[in-house]
Amino acid sequence: MQELSTTARAYFSQPRNSGAFDLAAPNVAAARVGEPASGAIVQLHLRIAADGTIDAARFQAYGCAWTIACADCLAGCLAGMTLAEAAQWRHHLLMEILAVPAEKLHCAVLAETALKAALRNWAEKPSANAAVQAP
């Protein structure tokens, strides 16, 4: 296994954004991606502020150190972004920030997939969208 970069090691050893939000809250979107059989799962929760920005993000992950580092880094980067900015996020940014080796590309892709799924979950919540879009 490729040794973790200094940045990735920091995210893995002391995750700053682990946890979850109350899924019953109208301003929370969530997604779970991955499969236990593959050895990697990422669950991502987004708390959306009234102005449509991501107030905070939390993750829960099962997998290798790279998977956990990617999920934590992504969750930290999302705070303060608009939904449109978050929709533009791509896994290659995690690859750069954390110096993810090519053989661990799937870890960064899994984090991106969780984000896209959480954004889809948010788009499917009409009551939450109405609250954010209200003047």
Q: Is residue 42 scored above 70 in pLDDT? A: yes
Would you list the domain boundaries of the chain? 6-125
Q: Distance (Å, rounded) from C-alpha 79 to C-alpha 60?
A: 16
Higher-pLDDT residue of 127 and 58 is 58
Is this structure's pTM higher than 0.85? yes
**DSSP at 4:** P
State residue 23's pLDDT score.
94
Which CATH architecture group holds 6-125?
Alpha-Beta Complex (3.90)
Q: HSE on the CB side for 109, CA within 13 Å?
A: 7
What are all long-range contacts of 118-125, with beta carbons under 8 Å and residues at least 24 apart? 118/29, 118/30, 118/31, 118/44, 118/45, 118/46, 119/29, 119/46, 119/83, 119/86, 119/87, 120/31, 121/29, 121/30, 121/31, 122/29, 122/46, 122/48, 122/83, 125/26, 125/29
Average pLDDT over residues 115-120: 98
Average pLDDT over residues 113-123: 97
